[in-house]
Amino acid sequence: MTETRIPRRRAGDRPPVITELLDEAVVQEIADQAWAALVGEEEVLVPLPGEVPADAVSSWVEVLGPWTGTVVLACGRRTAADLTRALLREHAPAELEDEDVADALGELANVVGGNVKAVLPGPSALGLPEAGTAPAPGAAADTCRVDLLWRGQPLTITVQGAALAPEHEN
């Protein structure tokens, strides 16, 4: 856990939406750097939409600050397994455990999320990576999504505001 203090927003302040803070090109550049360093120098992410399979798996990290939301990575199970093998290289076991895949996908979300956080207004805190069923998206206007192909397989990176919760006004 970080010790960053998060200032309370004053009543009446409108929180920023993500599209005012970054765009798809920034997210793609962050992802490109993460892939080159972690997955492999020759590995490229092609900015083309593909249909993420119905059995998609997700990993994400939460950003909590002036902008609050999650950075979510989603891809098919086969893609997730291939990414895990690429990260582990010679240390990849013959049979991947679900835990290995969650760990690898979580670290990719963590690295992308940490760098997304760095371009957002602070101070803010980064949560621990999680994997499973991604948090529900918030408003469409507070969402920045890039659709990519890696080795011809689709994956998406979404920077999404927290789902709207009922507000309790004083």
Residues that bind other proteins (CB under 8 A): 1-4, 33-34, 36-38, 84, 87-89, 91, 100, 103-104, 106-107, 110-111, 113-115, 117-118, 122-123, 126-129
C-beta of 7 vs 12, nearer to other proteins: 7
Q: Closest separation between CB of residue 168 and other proteins, Å?
A: 30
C-beta of 50 vs 71, nearer to other proteins: 71
Distance CA 154, CA 149 (A): 4
Q: What's CA 41's distance to the chain center, in Å?
A: 21
Q: Closest separation between CB of residue 24 and other proteins, Å?
A: 19
Q: Closest separation between CB of residue 14 and other proteins, Å?
A: 24
C-beta of 33 vs 133, nearer to other proteins: 33
Q: Which tokens belong to 60? A: 């994400």
Distance CA 69, CA 25 (A): 19
Q: Closest separation between CB of residue 46 and other proteins, Å?
A: 19
CA-to-CA separations, 131 to 66, 98, 101, 109, in angstroms, rounded:
24, 10, 9, 9
C-beta of 72 vs 87, nearer to other proteins: 87
Neighbour-count burial for 128-161, b at 16+ CB within 10 Å, e otherwise: ebbbeebbebbeeebbbbbbbbbeebbbbbbbbb
58, β-bridge pairs: 74, 132
Distance CA 24, CA 12 (A): 29
C-beta of 50 vs 107, nearer to other proteins: 107
Q: Closest separation between CB of residue 100 and other proteins, Å?
A: 7
